[in-house]
Chains A and B, each alone.
Chain A
Amino acid sequence: MNPSFSLDVSRSGEVSVARLAGDVDLANVGEIEARLADGAGGTGAMVIDLGRVSYMDSTGFGMLERLSAMRPLQVVLPPGALVHRAFAVTGLAQLVPVFDTLEDALKAR
């Protein structure tokens, strides 16, 4: 089966930057969560860019909630993002700072 998502993790100074794209669902959320949790040493601040995510449901948002408890987390979610409305409903914005662009997120540190 073709991977339904792509994830690359890089570093920008002290911060891990994860770019997630494609579909996040029950079938792959475990794998994504494991890679994000381990990403760049597994501790320290992380920015996750959801701008190119085409599908994410409550299982994916649950993963973000768990990650935010493990390490300082920021999320990049442009207003036009496909999962923007769903994200807003979950109330995650109260746990995790949300930015329109990656630059804004990094600047805010």
Chain B
Amino acid sequence: MKRRLTLLTAGYFVVIAIILVAVLPFVVGVLHVATTLEHQLGPANSFAQRYLGAAVDQETGERGYLITRQERFLDPYVTGNRNASTAYAALQRLQLQPNERAALERARKDLAAWNQQATLEIAATRAGDFKGAQAFVSVGSGRQLFEAFRADQARFAALVQSRLAHERALLRRNASLSIAALLAASAIAGASALLVRRWARGSTEREETHFLEQLAFAELHRMTASLAERRGADDVANAAVEQAAPLLGADIVRIWVREPGERLRLVAEHTSAYFAKADLTALSLEDANPASDVWRDRRPRFYPRRDDVGAEYPAWAAWWEKQGAEGFALLPLRADDEPFGVLLVWYRTPQDFGEHQRTLLELTADNIGAAFSRARTREREHDAALKLQESLLGPAMFVDGAGHTLRYLPAETGFHVGGDWFNTQRLADGRILLAVGDVVGRGIDAATTMGQLRSGVSACAPRCVSPSDLLDCIDEFSRDLPGAHGTTVALAYVDVNNERVEYLCAGHPPPLLVDPEGHVRLLDGALTWPLGIDDARPTRLGATTKLPAGSLLVFYSDGLVERRREPLDVGIDRLVTALEQHWYLPLELLCDRVVRDAFEGSKREDDAALLVLRTPVLSRRLFLMKVQAQRDAIRRVRTQMREWLAPLELSTTEEAAILIAVGEACTNAVEHAYAAGTRALFRVEASLTDDGVICCVSDAGAWKDNPDRFARGNGIAIMRELMDDVAIELGPGGTTVTLRYNLRMSDEPVVLA
């Protein structure tokens, strides 16, 4: 007995020796890689982010200071500076590879170059040289220096990220090799030392599994952090399926969300290379299918094999057979304890769905739910802020005496409402006030300030005789408005009768003037500092310029012209080019084209405002009348329009066709858009284009008030018969009817119906 025991003990040692020899290299490898991950790359990654964040703070502070000249912006600049140094020092202490170190060094040099220049500009600003400092901000030399830093920092971060990914893959491989080696060793030892084998397998597998579990939970944590940065619910769903798949080791991940009509809709899907995308995107909740059942009873389901679920839902068995996956898990998705959908996870191979796997799946579903909840809250806040802004911007008012229209375009990326605002009104002396402004910052606060400033302009305007007066007045008004500091504004007093405009730009990009021949120029004769900056300065003077009949004034906010990685001038040039091409179009069409050209191929990162005004005209290419909506107005329009059409030498039938179609649109404007007795206006425009004539009749009539507006009578049918194209657009500001008439070649007979 004792002898056998000795033999057995000797067996243990042999087995242990074999295991040690087989496994040691892998274990050393695992330990090495794990240590690298923990002590080098993890921190390098986070310090790299901190380095960038601190530099961005620096840049924001510096820009803020140079634009507003307020010392409080220097705080983020100084803090950012300090944090960037700390992050850089921490990065230097880590063991980086030569290429990583070189990239980091380049980024540091870039930042130092930017910093040196920024310090000079700040010093210049303090000494009173605003123009040079402004150039650093607006012309973009500062931005280019900073973008160089950003690019090199990104290269560095990418190198670290790629090594991190590589090391992670290595860790997984070595870990699995360790398991394989252990199992092999255990098998050899099995015959001679049952106890040893049991002990060995039991303990090492536990260790390895534990290790992999930890890794999976760390990944889950990473997914949660990454989802927190997503904006919209759709964005969350797409990112969630992409990230959940590798984390769960799954082949198919789908998110189904409940929508009205008792359905589940597929909102996001990830499939590995082995599987095709789903060929159905909606499921009825009334059907018997596992997703609908999970939705109903809110309980997760786990099917180790395809046959298990197939037996329960025979109607779907063929579909799943075709899909080909085996292990299947379904989990309810909840946002704020309210269920909103179902998470479906398929595995290529059968699964045992042990306790750890189930926990991981449930945690994944919980995290996705929480991310949805945050995204939805943000969307709601954004909608609320947008509504507030719309209400504060007010309806497009029709000022007497000239034609104007405007566009407010909220940012397409991010969820912030901006502080762009307009104001247009006719003053007692007959002049027209135009104002476009931009409040510093975003969100509800900016929108509120915007509304207050807009009201401030309305209140001040009747008491002021010039833009310069008005600016002083709103400057004083804004002194008690904390959010108004640094607001930029462009103001103009348009004198249609004397063909003059007096204007002023307080920190705002200069407006543009297009003369009736299509020549575009910048109104940059009166550039001055923004609101609420310094009350000890002298009065800011406006500039006056000629405004021949039919001139077009174009006011905008920087969101229309500013792009990242691009100096402001490039954007303004783009706007000038668009105006040179489209200047002669009726106002609504002109605005549509300008906006299209401004954002061609890029998303709006900031909100943008555009306000255009054209004075009345009857020139070779242009026609614009602003008329009181009264019955005899139609005849006045017709008389003028006949005069405008005369040089085109149309046949009398062609001329009658245009006059009747325009008359129909005017009749609608007069008869339907205005309640009797109100002092309403409508606008008639016509332009001669290369192909023919475009006419637009716009009124401020609210469509809802007159649901039958065009159903009544034959107005639309007549316009469609006589014109080549008729478009009726109902916007929040009113209704615009656009008529296009192609000028035919003289040898082509006019067909009479």
- A: residues with CB less than 8 A from B are 1, 4, 23, 25-27, 54-59, 61-62, 79-80, 82-86, 88-91
Contacts of A23 in B (CB 8 A): 635, 638
Which residues of chain A have C-beta atoms less than 8 A from B634's C-beta? 25-27
Evaluate contact between B657 and A90: CB separation under 8 angstroms: no
Interchain CA distance A1-B630 in the complex, whole Å: 15
Q: Which of B703-717 contact A (CB under 8 A)?
A: 713-715, 717
Q: Cβ of B635 and Cβ of A58 under 8 Å apart?
A: no
Distance of A1 Cα from B714 Cα, bound (Å): 28
User: A59 vs B657: C-alpha distance in the bound complex, in angstroms?
Assistant: 16
Q: Which of B660, B670, B671 contacts A86 (CB 8 A)?
A: B660
The 8 Å CB contact of B656, one of A61, A82, A90, is A82
Residues of B near A55 (CB, < 8 A) are 638, 656, 659-660, 663
- Chain B: minimal CB distance from A85 (Å): 5
A25–B657 Cα distance when bound, in Å, is 15
A85 touches B721 (CB 8 A): yes
With both beta carbons as reference points, the residue of chain A lying nearest to B717 in the complex is identified as A89
Residues of B within 8 A of A (CB): 631-632, 634-635, 638, 652-653, 656-657, 659-660, 663-664, 667, 670-671, 713-715, 717-718, 720-722, 752-753
Instruction: List the B side residues contacting A4 at CB < 8 Å.
Output: 635
Task: Give the interface SS of chain B, mostly helix, strand, loop or mixed.
Answer: helix
Q: A57 and B667 in contact (CB under 8 A), knowing A84-B752, A86-B721? A: yes
Could you tell me if B632 and A1 are in contact, using CB atoms closer than 8 angstroms? yes
Contacts of B638 in A (CB 8 A): 23, 25, 55
Give Cα A89–Cα B664 distance, bound, in whole angstroms: 13
Residue pair A85, B722 in contact (C-beta under 8 Å): yes
13 additional A-B residue pairs with CB within 8 Å, beyond A54-B656, A59-B667, A59-B671: A23-B638, A25-B634, A25-B667, A27-B631, A27-B634, A27-B635, A55-B659, A56-B660, A57-B718, A62-B714, A85-B721, A89-B717, A89-B718
- Cα A83 to Cα B664 in complex, Å, equals 13
Smallest CB-CB separation from B668: which chain A residue? Answer: A58
Could you tell me if B652 and A88 are in contact, using CB atoms closer than 8 angstroms?
no
Q: Are B713 and A62 in contact (CB under 8 A)?
A: yes
- Complex: A11 Cα to B753 Cα, angstroms: 31
Contacts of A27 in B (CB 8 A): 631-632, 634-635
Assembled-state Cα–Cα distance A79/B660 (Å) = 17
| Residue from B656, B663, B720, B752 within 8 A of A79 (CB atoms) | B752
Q: Who on chain A is nearest to B637 by CB?
A: A25
**Are A90 and B717 within 8 A (Cβ)?**
yes
Contact A25 B722 (CB under 8 A): no
Distance (whole angstroms) from the CB of B675 to the closest CB of chain A? 16
Interface centre among A4, A56, A89 (most CB of B within 10 A): A89
Cα separation A91 to B713 with both chains bound (whole Å): 11
Closest residue of chain B to A55 (Cβ to Cβ) is B659
B635 and A86 within 8 A (CB): no
CA distance A56 to B722 in the complex (A): 13
Given the known interface contacts A56-B660, A58-B718, A90-B718, the answer about A26 and B671 at a Cβ–Cβ threshold of 8 Å is yes
Q: How far is the CA of A88 from the CA of B751 in the complex (A)?
A: 13
CA A88 – CA B151 in complex, angstroms?
68
Whole-angstrom distance between the Cβ of A5 and the nearest chain B Cβ: 10
Question: In the bound complex, how far is the Cα of B638 from the Cα of A54, in angstroms?
Answer: 11
A57-B715, A58-B715 given; A83·B656 CB < 8 A = yes
Instruction: Give the nearest-CB partner of B631 in chain A.
Output: A27
Q: How far is the CB of B639 from chain A (nearest CB, A)?
A: 9
**Known contacts A26-B631, A86-B660, A58 near B722 by CB under 8 Å:** no
Whether the Cβ atoms of A58 and B753 lie closer than 8 Å is no
Contacts A23-B638, A26-B670, A58-B714 given; does A85 touch B657 at CB 8 Å: yes
* Residue numbers in B under 8 Å from A58 (CB-CB): 664, 667, 713-715, 718
Chain A positions within 8 Å of B671 at CB level: 26, 59
Smallest CB-CB separation from A25: which chain B residue? B634
Assuming the contacts A23-B635, A25-B663, A27-B631, asked whether A84 and B753 have C-beta atoms less than 8 A apart, the reply is yes
**CA–CA, A90 to B717, complex, Å?**
7
State the Cβ distance, A75 to closest chain B Cβ, in Å.
15
Q: A26-B670, A27-B632, A83-B656 are in contact. Are A57 and B722 (CB under 8 A)?
A: no
In the docked arrangement, what's the CA distance between A58 and B670, Å? 13
Find out whether the CB atom of A86 lies under 8 angstroms from the CB atom of B715: no
- Interchain residue pairs A-B with the least CB separation, the first 6: A82-B656, A88-B753, A89-B721, A27-B631, A58-B713, A90-B714
